[in-house]
Structure 1
């Protein structure tokens, strides 16, 4: 699914009669073109950030009998997205409309609120905070795949370069490590992150993600924003070709990595 004309930025997964993370409204024309006459019975949201769930309200309006799963912490903010929009506007400013398009409310009658720990019709739900307090991951029993949103990191397959996406305000490194442990315990056949593509070496990937998370968290503790961002850009430039580097920067802008980790360390200090 292209985002603003670029490939390998946002991935919407289709599994049986389910969509996982439909992305923002700005990408929905591409998604709907790819789906054709097919329509889902359920839409599963890993979390409510706009690049994952921003278009869900528009799809709810299009398909008024489709059930939409969301964690209990996120449910109030997709039913009434005013606070979500205000928070995102502080980060994206005048770029909101261009980046994400319409952000429509989801009728409460269409929401299925999950907490983590459920298994529903072959889908196991786990609460996986760390990137966001309203984050869940889903394991599909038939395939053995885990659909991980952002908690398994950003990786433009087939590259093995991983970024832990750390925008404000919910970054919690300890909780994130515990969530990676949950994914590891599932022993998934593969991972389906939203950014981007199938990860077919899940055990190795998750083990490296633990290290990546700690490495960049420590850098954010020691460096100011400019130096941290320069280090992130240098690491990406040495690891990825230009097209993948641009896709990754669009999925997770390097300038947004330091503020979430800085807020985490500030909370720890206080």
Structure 2
């Protein structure tokens, strides 16, 4: 049995405890059979009798702790010390603000309930924000490949929460060509639609009586379109039809109409 004790009443009650170190008056004063404890400071760990593997540093630090494998660093007898640790679970709790002037290395940040707050994925360079939320890929990674990517872990992103929220963009905003009624359109798509309308109007611009066949052309914003138009003139009415198509539209556009004389 080997122990080190320095101070009045330090380890005063010890009987079978071994490999303990107590420095300071009343440090580990109640220890009887506990082993491998370290206490530095007046009254540090003073009520612990059978605990093993504890570290108490500071005036009265851990003086109310009776368990094992705990870390207390403080200058009072509080049960929520400035620094508290549990060697069995490998956890450390800071009961106060923490300032770090150097680098902080961590692969995952979790909440007090164990839910993921932030997680870094080494293989892809992705940063996950939230338990099942946003994912950010760095441009230097294999997935980013020159672009910073923001994605959703569930495949659905909403920008803004309230109807009064405002979303502003600085710089260019690139969107794919629309394929559904609810999709946003590009300038190229809108300019092509205008060119198609102009081409249709030109193909049906008949100025004389009788049947007509026409070819129309439209150009707007650098986008072009062609249209073919037919017009049939009857004694009491008129029928016209036109079709136009461009490369970026999935389907051709049609227009037609009837008119009667009274």
Q: Which has more strand, going by share of residues?
A: 2
**TM-score of the aligned structures, taking structure 2 as reference length:** 0.19
**TM-score of the aligned structures, taking structure 1 as reference length:** 0.19
* Greater RCO, CA 8 A, separation 6+: 1
- Select the structure of larger CA radius of gyration: 2
